[in-house]
Amino acid sequence: MDAVRGASGVAVHAESVAVRYANGTQALQPTTLRFEPGRFTVLLGASGAGKSTLLRCLNGLVRPTGGQVRVEGLGTLDDAARLRQHRRQTGMVFQQHHLIGRLSVLANVLMGRLGYHASWATLRPWSREEKERALAAIDRVGLIERALHRADELSGGQQQRVGVARALVQQPRVLLADEPVASLDPATAEHLMSLMHRICRSDGLTAVVSLHQVELARRHADRIVGLRGGAVVFDGPPSSLNESAVAELYGAQAH
């Protein structure tokens, strides 16, 4: 298990971060938030609330049109070298898995090591150490017996666990997940959230996960940041997310 653990998490600070798209849409209002190591933060809100935009600002996939993201030990992400280093230490779990179905689970997980290679080096065979790291990550998400199976032979929940293993093999200090359970049934979603929370707590990672399911957030978050219309309207522990706060997030109909 230690083979897939890197250094502990790092603080990530969004400083007045805002995003306005070219068509004039204000996807994210000026937002200041600090995400601490060892805390499992859930971004909660309806579709279009700004959760995905904020997540993508945190790993540099979206460049803020206002403000900046600052990472402990690196500084701001306005330098290409610092941005590459931050992305290398930031694991990302996507809603739609982004696996290559015809490749094995092992081969898909090894893709998480690409950030440690120069582009020319990716043509070489993977090293024994990297394969061992990948197998350790696969074992950690409970899929070691499926390591050599094609990814498209797995269920949706298993494929999402492969996505988690691919993020873990990066030896991340930050773990971001964008609606990772949106396409899963309730029991599978509960299992995946428990798995991610347990790993992040054990490794001391800085974890930020976007969800729209209130009860999942209440059960698994250490901190909930609620967004509506691109603005933060709630920031606190799950115990403080009362029905009034939920109504503010979702309007008259709570999800």
Instruction: Tell me which residue of 37, 19, 165, 183 sits closest to 96, measured CA to CA.
Output: 183
Pairing of strands 206-211, 12-20: unpaired
Instruction: Tell me which residue of 3, 229, 6 sits closest to 128, measured CA to CA.
Output: 3
Give 118's pLDDT tier (boundaries 50, 70, 90). Answer: low
d(CA 175, CA 195): 13
Q: Which of 2-6, 96-100, 197-201 has the lowest mean pLDDT?
A: 2-6
Per-residue pLDDT at 5: 57
Per-residue pLDDT at 177: 96
- pLDDT at 113 exceeding the cut of 50: yes
Per-residue pLDDT at 96: 77
Give 125's pLDDT tier (boundaries 50, 70, 90). Answer: confident
Instruction: Tell me which residue of 224, 221, 223 sits closest to 248, measured CA to CA.
Output: 224
- pLDDT at 119 exceeding the cut of 70: no
Per-residue pLDDT at 254: 46
Per-residue pLDDT at 121: 52
Q: Taking the CB of residue 240, how many other CB atoms lie within 10 A of it?
A: 11
> Position 196: which residue type?
M
Per-residue pLDDT at 1: 46
Strand blocks (E) in 22-74: 26-35, 40-44, 66-71
Per-residue pLDDT at 97: 73
- pLDDT at 211 exceeding the cut of 60: yes
In sequence order, the β-bridge partners of residue 90 are 174
Q: Is the domain 2-250 a CATH 3.40.50.720 member?
A: no
- Looking at residue 184, the DSSP 8-state letter turns out to be S
Q: Where are the domains of the chain?
A: 2-250
Instruction: Please identify which residue in the block is written with the tokens 């219309």.
Output: 229
Helix (H, G, I), strand (E, B) or coil at 181: coil
- pLDDT at 220 exceeding the cut of 80: yes
d(CA 169, CA 158): 17
- Looking at residue 140, the DSSP 8-state letter turns out to be H
Instruction: Please identify which residue in the block is written with the tokens 């971060």.
Output: 17
Per-residue pLDDT of 130-188, as tens digits, reads: 999 999 999 999 999 999 999 999 999 999 999 999 999 999 999 999 999 998 999 99
> Position 209: which residue type?
V
Give the CA distances from residue 106 to residues 68, 112, 134, 255, in Å, rounded to whole numbers and listed in that order: 36, 10, 7, 37
Instruction: Please identify which residue in the block is written with the tokens 């094995």.
Output: 104
d(CA 67, CA 63): 10
- pLDDT at 36 exceeding the cut of 90: yes
Q: State the average pLDDT over residues 198-224.
A: 95
CB 171 within 8 Å of CB 10: no
Per-residue pLDDT at 123: 56
Q: State the average pLDDT over residues 208-230.
A: 95
Over the chain, what is the mean pLDDT?
91
Percent above pLDDT 90 for the chain: 80
